Chains A and B, each alone.
Chain A
Amino acid sequence: MYAADWSVLWSTQYGPLLLAGMLSTVKLTLLCLSFSAVIGLLVGLVRWDGGRRAKTVSSWYIEFARNTPPVVQILFWFFSASFLLPSWALNAAQDFGLSSAAVVIALSIYHGAFVAEVMRGSLSAIARGQLEAALTLGLGRAQAIRLILLPQALRLATPSLVNEAVSLAKNTSLAMAIGVAEVSYAAKYIDTYAFRGIEALAAATAFYLILCGALVGIGALVDHRLTRDEVRA
């Protein structure tokens, strides 16, 4: 039977590495979460009620982003950023760390596509009359969307968005493919250099369970707040 030695997890040599990895995972998750929310909201609005050409372009983006592996998208951005990004964006990316920037760009684009589909779905689920009534009452189009449609759409979208957030948190582990020192990278490192793979993997697994559990919990709170004063038929 295997004799586990858990002290490796808080040894001065590997403990800080693991902790930094966890912080890095949380940071990547939050960054990608905010960017993909913005992308998803904008593209979702276009998909829902945009011009014909804008709809076609955004549907191509969604189809392509959703049907290709996120890890290949990360590799693509990591190796091709210098060819694709304008120089100011490249400089910003390099200041941030090119590999982390590639992960943020790739995962925001990947999950933005999923968020866009969720937003389109929930916007379409709201009766068309709502928009028409708002416009008739003298609200501008932007106002009607912001004040009448989005609050209702978000209420419908919360459960799916929580699933997306969990999936995003899990996908930040792909960052290790290009050497970003997040928590799975740290686990792999401890396996390679301290031969304590089981302990390290157990720590990483527990960390992901807690992180995803926290996201689900936050989602439940938000859902509760959004739906508490909903009139039930």
Chain B
Amino acid sequence: MNWAQVWSLDNLRRLFVGELWDGQPGGLLLTVILGVLVIALSTPLGTAIGLLREHRLRLLRIPAAAYVHILRNIPTIVLVFWAYFAPPYLGFEVSRFTSVAIALTLGASAYIAENVRGGVRAVPRGHIEAARILGLSRWQILRLVILPQAFLTIVPALTGRYIVIFKNTSLAFLIGLTDLTEVGREINTRLLVAPLEVYLTLLVLYFALNRCVSTAMRKLEVPRNLNRFFFLPHRPA
């Protein structure tokens, strides 16, 4: 076994932070940055699309449904290729990081839209009617009544989606971004004799990362913690 070679100080630095000291974050750090960014972008986008799918205007409902059905049936790799290889044909360049972020955001938002839609449908009709009678505006009903309850029901489903996002960040290496997977590949190519050790290290790192995601998300299953995201009081008044 060649664990010492694989876990040399230099390799560990590259695996965890990449060339951070030279201003180029890589490895696990880049994977985390990418994942968190995609989550932050795809959740609001997915929520908007999911709400449009429930809109009373057919003109808005149909495009939203098409968006979901098309994006859910295309592999993420193909989305990444669209985002990275297609723009130059149309005369502009998109950086590697931006294109991966766009592709993963589009792909994830379609799934999140379906989850949000399910959550919105699970909100009891009477709550919305009661809120309307109390004189809340449409926007207030959405923010104060519908979304907090909808998200509370879909936290477990969202955890699964977020784990998929972190797993999908590994596709970044296909267009040459030095994320965790790419660093592992480079270390493997340099050593040649220790593929088992290198890739086991990668698998364990991803496993630990996703375990952190599930643990963090479990905290949001408590309404008090989730409500902060909707600027609601921490305790019911």
**A residues apposed to B, CB below 8 Å:** 2, 63-64, 66-73, 75-76, 79-80, 83-84, 166, 170-174, 176-177, 184, 187-188, 191, 197-198, 201, 204-205, 208-209, 212-213
Contacts and interface: CB of A to CB of B under 8 A. Distances in A.
Contacts of B222: none
Interface of B: 70, 72-78, 81-82, 85-86, 88-91, 163, 166-171, 173-174, 181, 184-185, 188, 195-196, 198-200, 202-203, 206-207, 210-211
A99 to B, nearest CB: 14
B109 to A, nearest CB: 16
Main secondary structure of the interface of B (DSSP, over half): helix
Nearest to A84: B196
B196 A80 contact: yes
B89 A205 contact: no
A205 B85 CA distance: 14
Q: Sorted from nearest, which 9 A-B pairs have the closest CB atoms? A: A79-B195, A212-B73, A76-B199, A69-B170, A173-B75, A170-B75, A67-B210, A69-B167, A80-B196
A72 B202 CA distance: 7
A197 B85 contact: yes
26 contacts: A2-B91, A67-B163, A68-B203, A69-B167, A71-B171, A72-B203, A75-B184, A75-B185, A76-B195, A76-B199, A76-B203, A79-B188, A84-B196, A173-B78, A174-B77, A174-B171, A177-B174, A197-B85, A198-B89, A201-B81, A201-B82, A201-B85, A204-B78, A205-B74, A205-B82, A208-B74
A123 B211 CA distance: 26
Given A67-B210, A71-B181, A205 B203 contact: no
A186 B28 CA distance: 30
B171 to A, nearest CB: 6
A184 B170 CA distance: 17
A230 B188 CA distance: 55
Main secondary structure of the interface of A (DSSP, over half): helix
A174 B85 CA distance: 17
B167 to A, nearest CB: 4
A79 B199 contact: yes
A173 B73 contact: no
Contact of A198 (B76, B86, B200): B86
B86 A69 contact: no
B78 A208 contact: yes
Contacts of A166: 72-73
Contacts, number: 114
Given A72-B170, A198-B86, A67 B199 contact: no
A198 B70 CA distance: 17
A212 B74 CA distance: 8
Contacts of A201: 78, 81-82, 85-86
Contacts of A67: 163, 167, 206-207, 210-211
Contacts of A80: 195-196, 199
Given A67-B211, A198-B89, A73 B203 contact: yes
A205 B90 CA distance: 18
A166 B196 CA distance: 30
A168 to B, nearest CB: 11
A208 B74 CA distance: 6
Contacts of B173: 177
Nearest to A173: B75
Contacts of B181: 69, 71-72, 75
A213 B200 CA distance: 35
Contacts of A177: 173-174
B81 A188 contact: yes
Nearest to A176: B77
A2 B91 CA distance: 8
A79 B173 CA distance: 17
Contacts of A173: 75-78
A6 to B, nearest CB: 14
A209 B75 CA distance: 9
A179 to B, nearest CB: 12
A170 B167 contact: no
A11 to B, nearest CB: 18
